[in-house]
Structure formats: C-alpha cells, structure tokens
C-alpha cells in the first residue's frame, strides 16, 4: 500500500468526498490538477479509490491508513502555513474559517492582518458537539488548540488553531475553502472597523453586488 500511498496520494484520499471530481479535489487541496489526476490514476489502479460518477474511497481502512501517514509526516516535518489551511479538510466533521480567516478567504488571500509567519493562528468555527474530536484530530498533527489566541511565547511553534464552538454552522465555499457567510464576515469587520477598513474597501471593489460605502486610501493611513 505505502508504495502507492505517498503523502500526496494520502492527502487526496482524505480530501475526497463521495462524488467529487478530480478538479474539485485539486481545488480543495490547492494542488495542480495534473498532479491530482496522476495520483488518482495510481490509487484507482491499486484499488484504493473508484471513479464512477465521481470519486469515492473504497473503505474506511484506506482512509484511516492515509490519515496515519499524513499525521506521521507532520510529526517529522511540522506543517507549513499553507498546509495548515488544508489539514482541517482531512477531518470528519464540518468547519468553517471565521474571524480573520474569513476575511482572508473572502478577499481571496488579498487581505492579511494581525499575523506573522512566526505567530500564525488559524480561526475555525466548529460545532459544539465536535470540539473534543477536533482537539484530538489537531493533536495528532502536532497543532495546539485553544478557544482564544495564545501568546506566541507559550507555544512550541508558530501555528495554533483557535476553535470557535457554535450550536450550528452556516457554511459557504470560496475557492475550495469552507467559510462563514460573507454577510457575517462583513459584520465582524464592521465591529472591528479600525482594523478592517481597508479590507472592507477591498471587498467592495471585489464584489459587484456589494455597496458598503467604504473608501480607503493608503495616503489616509499614512497621515494618521
């Protein structure tokens, strides 16, 4: 199995939702289509996935083996920031990026604030009933979890997962990322207006159906 199940193939297995196309899996993993297609062909030849009106994994044993391999790989080489955005999709429970990450997703990576490469929290909204499962899941990848952002000097590495438990989730998708609705993201940005004024102006330019009435120029910021 492990000759076929390299790290890329394992991630593909974990990212597949029954009925997915190769293109959708590539989008979820933010991996080139051709890379995913070739790996899917190998997995299909080995009997680990099938393609019949969409992809599906043959059984949970294959998925469990893939998760063990990816987690073991993370133990040897800690996840990068880019990989940390993909890892939650390997879990078995719904989630949505929220707060700063919702802004990051809705601006398609165009607006980043309050984080540095050596101090990088990811903000995830999850169902209250799944919190324990998510904590165990992220622990297997060596990623600490908390309900509030932790000081950098209390962590062993730059990454941390900040969980926001909710009774239920309303999830939208932007370029393969599950995220809280745009309206809720804008409400969060307005509540933190000083931090996100330029982000609101960016959203206003990106989405024609918005009329947020926000203007922002870098010269205004420099004069403050």
Predicted pLDDT at 220: 41
Helix (H, G, I), strand (E, B) or coil at 56: strand
Measured CA to CA, the distance from residue 46 to residue 49 in angstroms comes to 8
Fold: same for 7-76 and 81-223: no
Give the chain's residues under pLDDT 50: 1, 218-224
Contacts of 41 (CB under 8 A, 6+ apart): none
pLDDT at position 221 is: 42
* CATH class of this structure's domain 81-223: alpha beta
pLDDT tens for 155-177 read 989 999 999 999 999 999 998 89
List the alpha helices (DSSP H) in 31-149. Answer: 33-46, 60-76, 81-86, 100-106, 131-140
Q: Could you give the residue ranges of the DSSP H alpha helices within the chain?
A: 7-15, 22-29, 33-46, 60-76, 81-86, 100-106, 131-140, 182-191, 193-206, 218-223
- Can you name the CATH fold of 7-76? Arc Repressor Mutant, subunit A (1.10.10)
pLDDT in the model for residue 217: 54
Q: Where are the domains of the chain?
A: 7-76, 81-223
Q: Which residues contact 34 (CB under 8 A, 6 or more apart)?
A: none
């Amino acid at each position: 199995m492990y000759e076929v199940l390299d790290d890329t193939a394992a991630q593909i297995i974990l990212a597949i939702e029954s009925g997915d196309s190769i293109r959708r899996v590539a989008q979820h993993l933010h991996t080139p289509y051709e890379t995913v297609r070739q790996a899917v062909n190998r997995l299909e030849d080995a009997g680990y996935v099938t393609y019949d009106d969409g992809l599906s994994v043959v059984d949970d044993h294959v998925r469990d083996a893939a998760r063990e391999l990816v987690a073991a790989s993370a133990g040897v080489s800690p996840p990068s920031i880019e990989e940390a955005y993909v890892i939650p999709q390997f879990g078995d429970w719904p989630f949505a990026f929220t707060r700063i990450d919702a802004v990051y997703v809705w601006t398609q990576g165009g607006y980043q604030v309050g984080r540095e490469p050596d101090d990088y929290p990811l903000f995830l909204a999850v169902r209250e009933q799944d919190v324990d499962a998510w904590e165990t899941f992220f622990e297997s990848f060596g990623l600490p979890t908390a309900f509030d952002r932790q000081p950098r000097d209390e962590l062993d590495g730059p990454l941390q997962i900040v969980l926001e438990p909710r009774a239920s989730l309303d999830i939208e998708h932007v370029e393969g990322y599950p995220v809280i609705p745009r309206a809720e993201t804008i409400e969060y940005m307005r509540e933190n207006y000083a931090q996100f004024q330029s982000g609101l102006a960016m959203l206003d330019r990106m989405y024609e159906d918005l009329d947020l009435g926000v203007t922002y120029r870098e010269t205004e910021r420099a004069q403050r």
